């Protein structure tokens, strides 16, 4: 069954590796822009306008060599800098906490600083990766972007976090998986370079949700069975009928609030795949399908999900064999190949095969 979402006009045509990637789907902001509450509607409209401007700038960035594999550095080195945009438009803003500096009075700064360090350590300790490019690229993040800005994004150069409007959204550093999600967009940019459109764009979003969730689990030392598998838990204020932005465990259940457009539209199976031109072809919606596949793999294998399940996904995006316009089926086949290469055709391979089957995606090379 194909369920259409509202259309948003002409599509942009992203390039491999080029990505202005936000955590909040535009269709949520569009619904909020129609709110009877002027504070809510004004903030949502301003955020949509800001995102359109930032996306235009991001797609004009020339990034030569992003797809070329980086020569690994001899020693992993974490270098992160947090900037304050002072509610303005200019990025990155002023340095407020360079790497190695003590915590400051601003909680947003400290949370962003800690989340970048946590995500760096996940990639380093679990997968031997030295920063997002594999070669100790410094990590820059800006907080307090614009006023009442309801989003967070990776623009090809840095991570940026808004404060939220205080009516619907809290500030975007409150959930550690949000900075980890945006940082993973950078990892994808430097590895698989998945085009931010249609199924490849949904895979791009899903990979960020997967490793965002893994970063939270890594911080809490939770097993796959113990984890909540929510993305952005705590980002909504208590007035909103929502537990998070997305759920990998149960796509379609993260929120149900009329101000957000009603029920979370994410499908968990190809039978409910959404055909739309909105949101770059439904990248934040259809990502529910590969998200749920990963959840099924992780719980099927058991234990700490960043170990075997995460390793299979990491091997897939770093294999160099994934097409930038990969479909879900392409990705399923690649994860099966990665599982077989690392673990053989035992429990891990069978968990991957079963998971993709359960979400209606064939990993069989014959279709």
User: What is the rounded CA–CA span in Å between residue 14 and residue 332?
Assistant: 23
Burial of 159 per CB tally in 10 Å (0-12, 13-18, 19+): buried
C-alpha separations of 120 from 67, 219, 232 in Å: 20, 12, 19
**In the prediction, which pLDDT does 60 show?**
53
Structural contact between residues 198 and 15, judged by C-beta atoms closer than 8 angstroms: no
**In the prediction, which pLDDT does 1 show?**
34
| Arithmetic mean of pLDDT over the chain | 91
Structural contact between residues 28 and 260, judged by C-beta atoms closer than 8 angstroms: yes
Q: Where are the domains of the chain?
A: 21-358
**In the prediction, which pLDDT does 56 show?**
73
DSSP 327: -
Structural contact between residues 89 and 147, judged by C-beta atoms closer than 8 angstroms: no
User: What is the rounded CA–CA span in Å between residue 4 and residue 70?
Assistant: 40
Structural contact between residues 238 and 4, judged by C-beta atoms closer than 8 angstroms: no
**In the prediction, which pLDDT does 144 show?**
98
Nearest to 30 by CA among 17, 11, 42, 48: 48
| Answer CATH for 21-358 from 1.10.390.10, 2.40.30.10, 1.10.3720.10, 3.40.1160.10 | 1.10.390.10
End-to-end CA distance of the chain: 20
pTM across the whole model: 0.92
**In the prediction, which pLDDT does 68 show?**
43
pLDDT digits 0-9 by tens, 98-139? 999 999 999 999 999 999 999 999 999 999 999 999 999 999
Is the link from the previous residue into 92 a cis peptide, with omega within 30 of 0?
A: yes
Q: Bridge partners of 22?
A: 153
User: What is the rounded CA–CA span in Å between residue 87 and residue 85?
Assistant: 5
User: What is the rounded CA–CA span in Å between residue 64 and residue 120?
Assistant: 24
**In the prediction, which pLDDT does 2 show?**
35
User: So which residues are the catalytic ones?
Assistant: 182, 284
**In the prediction, which pLDDT does 153 show?**
97
DSSP 131: S
**In the prediction, which pLDDT does 55 show?**
82
**Token pair for residue 74?**
């001899």
Burial of 302 per CB tally in 10 Å (0-12, 13-18, 19+): middle
**Token pair for residue 205?**
């979003």
Nearest to 283 by CA among 292, 274, 271: 274
Residue segments in the chain with a per-residue pLDDT below the cut of 70: 1-18, 58-74, 364-367
Burial of 168 per CB tally in 10 Å (0-12, 13-18, 19+): buried
**In the prediction, which pLDDT does 229 show?**
98
Structural contact between residues 287 and 264, judged by C-beta atoms closer than 8 angstroms: no
Neighbours of 174 (CB within 10 A): 18
**In the prediction, which pLDDT does 358 show?**
98
């Amino acid at each position: 069954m194909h369920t259409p979402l509202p259309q948003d006009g002409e599509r942009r045509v992203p390039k491999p590796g080029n990505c202005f990637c936000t955590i909040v789907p535009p269709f949520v902001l569009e619904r909020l822009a129609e709110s009877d509450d002027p504070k809510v509607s004004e903030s949502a409209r301003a955020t949509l306008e800001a995102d359109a401007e930032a996306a235009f700038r991001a797609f004009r960035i020339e990034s030569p060599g992003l797809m070329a594999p980086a020569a690994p550095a001899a020693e992993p080195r974490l270098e992160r800098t947090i900037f304050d945009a002072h509610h303005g438009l200019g990025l990155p803003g002023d340095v407020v906490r360079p790497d190695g500096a003590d915590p400051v009075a601003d909680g947003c700064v400290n949370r962003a600083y800690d989340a970048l360090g946590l995500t760096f350590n996940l990639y380093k300790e679990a997968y031997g990766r030295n920063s997002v490019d594999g070669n100790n690229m410094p990590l820059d993040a800006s907080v307090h972007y614009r006023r009442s800005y309801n989003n967070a994004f990776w623009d090809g150069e840095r991570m940026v976090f808004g404060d939220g409007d205080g009516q619907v959204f809290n500030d975007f550093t409150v959930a550690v998986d949000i900075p980890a999600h945006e940082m993973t967009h950078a990892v994808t940019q430097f590895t698989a370079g998945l085009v931010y459109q249609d199924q490849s764009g949904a895979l791009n979003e899903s990979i960020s949700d997967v490793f965002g969730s893994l970063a939270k689990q890594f911080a809490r030392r939770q097993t796959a069975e113990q984890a909540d598998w929510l993305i952005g838990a705590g980002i909504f204020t208590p007035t909103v009928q929502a537990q998070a932005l997305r759920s990998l465990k149960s796509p379609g259940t993260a929120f149900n609030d009329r101000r957000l457009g009603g029920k979370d539209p994410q499908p968990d199976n190809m039978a409910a795949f959404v055909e739309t031109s909105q949101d770059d072809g439904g990248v934040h919606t259809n990502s529910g399908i590969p998200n749920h596949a990963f959840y099924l793999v992780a719980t099927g294998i058991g234990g700490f999900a960043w170990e075997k399940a995460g390793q299979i996904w990491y091997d897939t995006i770093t294999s160099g064999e994934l097409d930038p316009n990969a479909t879900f089926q392409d990705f399923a086949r690649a994860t099966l190949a990665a599982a077989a290469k690392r673990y053989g055709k035992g429990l891990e391979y069978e968990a991957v095969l079963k998971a993709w089957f359960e979400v209606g995606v064939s990993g069989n090379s014959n279709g």
